[in-house]
Amino acid sequence: MKEKYVGNVNISRILNRPSSSPLKESPAKPLYKGQTKRLKSFPKKSPIASPKSLTNDLNLKYNPKHSLSQEIINPNQRVQSYTANLFSNAKFELDWSIYEFKNLPHNRQAEEVEERDVEEASKPQKKTTPIYDPRDYKSLPEVIFLGRCNVGKSSLINALMDKPLARVKRFAGLTPCLNMYNIGNVVRLVDSPGYGVKGKPWQGDLTMQYIREREQLRKIYLILNAHLGINEFDEMILSQLVDSKISFDLVFNKVDKISPSQRRTHCDQIVDHLLKSVKISKLMRPTLHFVSCNDDNTRSLSGISDLQLNIVLSSGISGRFTR
Ligand SMILES: Nc1nc2c(ncn2[C@@H]2O[C@H](COP(=O)(O)OP(=O)(O)OP(=O)(O)O)[C@@H](O)[C@H]2O)c(=O)[nH]1
Ligand SMILES: [Mg+2]
């Protein structure tokens, strides 16, 4: 089969994900046949919108049933306080920086590593790929953050944990590999290298292989730029995710960059454009999160608390975490 790239991302094999994948969903009819149907799915006005909120009104409008800020559906109190506690108090550390998929602990390929003499870890490896002994780590559910270079993937991980552990820079192409952050030994957040003109083909291959093959993967969050809108690379990745029936949510970041008076109209246009360019099926309809990683905003007003809850629910975690 001819290899096909979206910028640095080889998308030709994404359709070959094994059918046992937990992310697979059954095929569905297209949701958006016409204007009427779409308007029905996304009500015109949000029921409640705090004038002070940065993203709440957007989150309420597009996900009236999901938002923490809305009391229509009050998620189980226990899950809610567990989430708040986890993201405020759990230990947050970088477990692995993965340059080669085969070196990722707890996957099928990594079993070879497990059986290998651990002395190998001390031998010099090509590039800077460390070898991790899987016995030192617990296998945990994982969620990955995808997005083009500079969209704010690493910033989002820091905002979720309220700690500047992931490296962030103004220039694009900073995160070179899959960085896997352990949250309290109950879940891992995976930061990925950005796609687009600054990305490299091997980074795209690595990310796509992770998505296709990683059994611990529970959810993909595709980060988009709420200010600049989606570009051709985003559209291509989105189409591939939709075609391959991989479950994902969309996170519109940098909402703070849009002037408050324009915010609603601006985001409506972006969502309209997105729905026109990508056919998203009813069953896999993603939640649309609107967030800002800007320090000036509190987590609840910048959509971060909603996203935290979504991560907890998607990963199915509720057990004790390490502080
Ligand atoms: N105003 C604003 N700036 C943001 C926001 N999120 C991220 N940034 C800025 O965007 C730039 C890129 O952020 P990163 O988190 O490094 O982006 P990335 O997607 O990880 O980039 P790569 O690792 O290069 O792919 C930095 O200057 C951040 O401060 C946001 O919500 N609002
Ligand atoms: Mg980064």
Asked if 145 and 157 count as a contact pair (C-beta separation under 8 A), the reply is yes
Rounded Cα gap, residues 42 and 63, in angstroms? 8
Rounded Cα gap, residues 226 and 85, in angstroms? 29
Report the length, in residues, of the chain.
323
The pLDDT value given to residue 64: 60
Rounded Cα gap, residues 153 and 195, in angstroms? 11
The verdict on the CB of residue 7 being under 6 Å from ligand 1 is no
**Residues with a beta carbon under 5 angstroms from ion ligand 2:** 153-154, 174-175
Q: Is 23 helix (H, G, I), strand (E, B) or coil?
A: coil
The verdict on the CB of residue 256 being under 6 Å from ligand 1 is yes
Domains along the sequence of the chain with CATH: 5-315 (3.40.50.300)
Ligand nearest to the CA of 7: 1
Centroid of ligand 2 to alpha carbon of 168 (angstroms): 6
The verdict on the CB of residue 292 being under 6 Å from ligand 1 is yes
Kindly indicate whether the ipTM for this predicted assembly is greater than 0.85, answering yes or no: yes
Centroid of ligand 2 to alpha carbon of 155 (angstroms): 7
Give me the phi and psi of 128, to 5 degrees please: -115, 30
The pLDDT value given to residue 75: 64
The burial class, CB within 10 Å (0-12 / 13-18 / 19+), for 174 is middle
Rounded Cα gap, residues 150 and 135, in angstroms? 35
> From edge to edge, which strands make up the β-sheet containing 187-191?
92-98, 178-183, 187-191, 142-147, 217-225, 248-253, 288-290
The verdict on the CB of residue 254 being under 6 Å from ligand 1 is yes
The pLDDT value given to residue 167: 85
Specify the ligand 1 atom closest to the Cα of 168: 16
Specify the ligand 1 atom closest to the Cα of 151: 19
Centroid of ligand 1 to alpha carbon of 194 (angstroms): 11
Rounded Cα gap, residues 35 and 168, in angstroms? 40
Asked if 225 and 270 count as a contact pair (C-beta separation under 8 A), the reply is no
Rounded Cα gap, residues 313 and 69, in angstroms? 16
Q: Dihedral (C-alpha) 266, 268, 273, 274: value to the nearest 10 degrees?
A: 110
Rounded Cα gap, residues 112 and 107, in angstroms? 9
Centroid of ligand 1 to alpha carbon of 148 (angstroms): 10
The verdict on the CB of residue 174 being under 6 Å from ligand 1 is yes
Closest CA to ligand 1's atom 13: 152
- Comparing CA positions, the residue from 260, 218, 257, 253 lying closest to residue 234 is 253
State which residues of the chain have pLDDT below 70: 1-54, 64-75, 108-129, 282-283, 295, 297-301
The pLDDT value given to residue 292: 92
Beta strand 248-253 pairing with 288-290? parallel
Ligand nearest to the CA of 199: 1
The tokens describing 174, both together, are 């900073």
